[in-house]
């Protein structure tokens, strides 16, 4: 059992119970840096025994110190267990022969964010969560979408429209509901939070979420184990919000406290010049970072307001040594090309920022020649062709024209518009012409998202994946018919409360009506109403359901 025994505040040492889905805030001093406490003595004994019987290819090797009560009882999403490489040509050409690359590209979606998603989604599964919301600049959205797909959790992903389209499409490919916000990342987080509150859904809160942050420390555990139970001299990572290194350093600290390493690395934080609030504060000697308006083409690193995270990272540099540096987009693109040509490693621009920072630190003499350096290497570009997903893979939400915080009126209007646009209708009908007509009429009537399944089995699969607001199903179909479909929907806790409208081309017998009684929202016979009238009835059904939900 690995549930934290309690949380200890890193600022005032106050101890309080662990609550998995409550923001980690100290109830005594208000600090947001709470450290879970486990049975570290027992875990150290297992480490000294070589962690017998543990997997070597994923982070659940360290399950004793991760906040999931019963990992063995869950079908856990694999992440971690990534290799570490000694740079053969890239770093030696820069005059340093002890640079290691922690290659997170080997994760399920090629990002270190897969670790965060694996532990966070495992906690969701254990807590019975069926639907969640996340705001992201790209990689976390894709990682969570993949993990939630495996777990059967419906995920709402909010991303700024400035994120590369490949990232948005990849999240959509995994079945997430993608909300594309025409604003910056901080605005995107704002509307995601409001959306989650309105719908009473779990919002993943990144650095303030214990499961998300705890996942990152497994990078430190793996690095130390892969280096023969020794710590590097430097750990370098490009950052946006800063969750990654904050969690990694918790891992180094735990290893040090258990006596498994004799030092903690210096920390190298690298940001893009066009969005470098942490670097600006660090260079000015300040422990609080002022928000900035992002101005970089590397959108994944465009968190303009790092909040409290910077203060905690600043404290780490003061305690263990380190620096924060900013590099230009051009320097990042140059480092990307150099790494690819010398090591055969293709990385995304956000990772290239870290390597450009390494180059800068070596030029300026920040790193001594005998110091062992580890650089976090993560990310890829994943093109998804439009014809794979069709046209309805994202919803657009427009906030303010500029990059300032969204005005309250604009946010309210966007949320109300989003409430309408995120109404989804699933049509299940083997008659293409009937389905197309209804779909066009619905989409013309309001900004609904309409999906179409061509038989009962496909409809059942889409219902479980999309969790639509309403299902309109034909009664007579190949495979599983409308009767069987309704029964399957009502047996599944994920879909049992979705209202179903059944349409039949034949007369319904009293026995059939009895079979459907209490299981569906309405029953119509094809031809009994003009198509437009039928669609109006469907719209009224949706609105009635929404009104009932708000009232409840």
Whether residue 340 lies inside any domain: the answer is no
Which residue from 19, 397, 490 is spatially nearest to 208, judged by alpha carbons? 19
| Rounded CA separation 119/211 (Å) | 6
Q: Which has the closest alpha carbon to 203: 238, 167, 156?
A: 156
428 and 546 within one domain: yes
If DSSP codes are grouped into helix, strand and coil, which group holds residue 140?
helix
Please report, for the domain that includes residue 462, its CATH number. Answer: 3.40.50.2300
Residues 436 and 543 in one domain: yes
Tell whether 397 and 457 lie within a shared domain.
Answer: no
Same domain, 407 and 526: no
Q: How many CB atoms lie within 10 A of CB 460?
A: 22
Predicted pLDDT of residue 409: 59
Q: How many domains does the chain divide into? A: 2
Q: Which helix (H) or strand (E) holds 192?
A: helix 185-199
Tell whether 492 is covered by a domain: yes
- The Cα 438–Cα 134 span in angstroms is 32
Nearest to 158 by CA among 150, 149, 148, 168: 168
Convert the pLDDT of each residue in 192-226 to its tens digit. 999 999 999 999 987 678 999 899 999 999 999 99
Closest by CA position to 539, among listed 432, 433, 447, 431: 447
**Mapping DSSP to helix (H, G, I), strand (E, B) and coil, where does residue 326 land?**
strand
455 and 540 co-located in one domain: yes
Please tell me which residue, 245 or 395, carries the higher pLDDT value: 245
Report the range out of 415-419, 421-425, 463-467 with the highest average pLDDT.
463-467
Q: What is the average pLDDT across 318-336?
A: 94
Q: Do 506 and 469 fall within a single domain?
A: yes
Instruction: Give percent of the chain above pLDDT 90.
Output: 47
395 and 433 belong to one structural domain: no
pLDDT tens column, 296-308: 888 778 888 888 8
d(CA 185, CA 415): 16
Tell me: the pLDDT tens digits for 79-119? 999 999 999 999 999 999 999 999 999 998 888 999 999 99
What is the pTM (predicted TM-score) of this model?
0.80
Domain membership of residue 446 (yes or no) is yes
Is residue 347 domain-resident?
Answer: no
Q: Is the pLDDT of residue 422 over 90?
A: no
In a domain, 349, yes or no: no
CATH number, position 128: 3.40.50.1100
260/252 Cα distance (integer angstroms): 10
pLDDT value for 307: 86
pLDDT tens digits along 472-519: 888 888 778 888 899 999 888 888 889 888 888 777 788 888 888 888
Query: Quick one: 453 and 399 in the same domain?
Result: no
66: in domain: no
Residue 122 lies in a domain: yes
- Same-domain status, 123 and 156: yes
CB 279 within 8 A of CB 303: no
Please check the confidence at residue 382 and state whether its pLDDT lies above 50.
no
Same domain, 401 and 506: no
Q: Which residues pair with 450 in a beta bridge?
A: 425
Does any domain span residue 540?
yes
User: 492 is in which domain, residue-wise?
Assistant: 423-551
Q: Are residues 503 and 408 part of one domain?
A: no
Residue 75 has pLDDT above 60, yes or no: yes
As a whole number, the mean pLDDT across the chain is 86
- Residue 479 and residue 407 share a domain: no
pLDDT at 540: 74
Rounded to the nearest 10 degrees, how much is the dihedral formed by the CA atoms of 130, 104, 294, 384? -70
């Amino acid at each position: 059992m690995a549930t934290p025994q309690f949380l200890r505040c890193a600022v005032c040492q106050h101890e309080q119970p662990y609550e998995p889905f409550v923001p980690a805030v100290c109830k005594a001093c208000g600090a947001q840096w709470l450290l879970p406490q486990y049975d570290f003595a027992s875990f150290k004994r297992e480490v000294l025994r070589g962690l017998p019987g543990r997997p070597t290819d994923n982070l659940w090797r360290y399950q004793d110190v991760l906040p999931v009560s019963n990992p063995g009882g869950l079908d856990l999403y694999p992440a971690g267990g990534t290799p570490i490489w000694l740079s053969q040509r890239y770093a030696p050409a820069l005059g340093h022969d002890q640079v290691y690359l922690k290659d997170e590209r080997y994760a399920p979606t090629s990002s270190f964010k897969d670790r965060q998603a694996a532990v966070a989604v495992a906690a969701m599964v254990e807590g019975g969560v069926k639907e969640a919301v996340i705001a992201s600049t790209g990689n976390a959205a894709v990682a969570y979408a993949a993990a939630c797909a495996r777990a059967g959790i419906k995920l709402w992903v909010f991303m700024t429209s400035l994120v590369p389209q490949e990232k948005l499409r990849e999240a959509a490919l995994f079945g997430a509901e993608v909300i594309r916000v025409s604003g910056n990342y901080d605005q995107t987080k704002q509307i995601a939070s409001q959306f989650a509150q309105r719908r009473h859904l779990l919002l993943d809160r990144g650095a303030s979420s214990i499961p998300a942050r705890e996942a990152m420390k497994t990078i430190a555990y793996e690095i130390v184990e892969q280096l023969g139970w020794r710590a590097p001299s430097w750990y370098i990572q490009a950052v946006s919000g800063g969750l990654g290194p904050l969690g990694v350093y918790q891992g180094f600290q735990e290893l040090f406290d258990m006596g498994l390493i004799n030092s903690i690395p210096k920390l190298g934080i690298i940001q893009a010049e066009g969005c470098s609030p942490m670097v600006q504060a660090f260079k000015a000697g300040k422990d609080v970072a002022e928000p900035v308006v992002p101005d970089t083409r590397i959108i994944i690193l465009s968190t303009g307001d790092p909040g409290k995270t910077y203060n905690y990272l600043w404290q780490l540099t003061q305690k263990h040594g380190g620096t924060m540096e900013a590099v230009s987009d051009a320097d990042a693109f140059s480092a990307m090309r150099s790494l690819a040509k010398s090591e055969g490693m293709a990385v995304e621009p956000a990772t290239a920022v870290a390597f450009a920072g390494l180059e800068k630190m070596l030029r300026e003499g920040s790193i001594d020649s005998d110091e062992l350096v580890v650089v976090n290497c993560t990310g890829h570009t994943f093109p998804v062709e439009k014809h794979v997903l069709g046209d309805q893979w994202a919803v657009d939400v427009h906030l303010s024209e500029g990059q300032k915080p969204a005005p309250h009126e604009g946010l309210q209007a966007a949320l109300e518009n989003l409430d309408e646009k995120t109404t989804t209708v699933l049509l299940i009908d083997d008659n293409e012409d009937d389905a197309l007509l209804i779909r066009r009429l619905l989409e013309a009537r309001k900004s609904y998202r309409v999906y179409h399944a061509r038989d009962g089995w496909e409809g059942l699969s889409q219902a479980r994946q999309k969790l639509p607001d309403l299902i309109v199903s034909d009664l007579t179909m190949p495979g599983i018919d409308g009767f069987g479909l309704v029964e399957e929907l009502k047996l599944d806790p994920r879909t049992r409360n979705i209202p179903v409208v059944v349409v039949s081309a034949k007369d319904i017998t009293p026995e059939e009506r009895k079979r459907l009684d209490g299981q569906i929202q309405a029953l119509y016979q094809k031809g009994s109403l003009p198509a437009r009238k039928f669609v109006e009835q469907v719209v009224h059904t949706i609105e009635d359901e929404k009104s009932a939900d708000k009232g409840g």
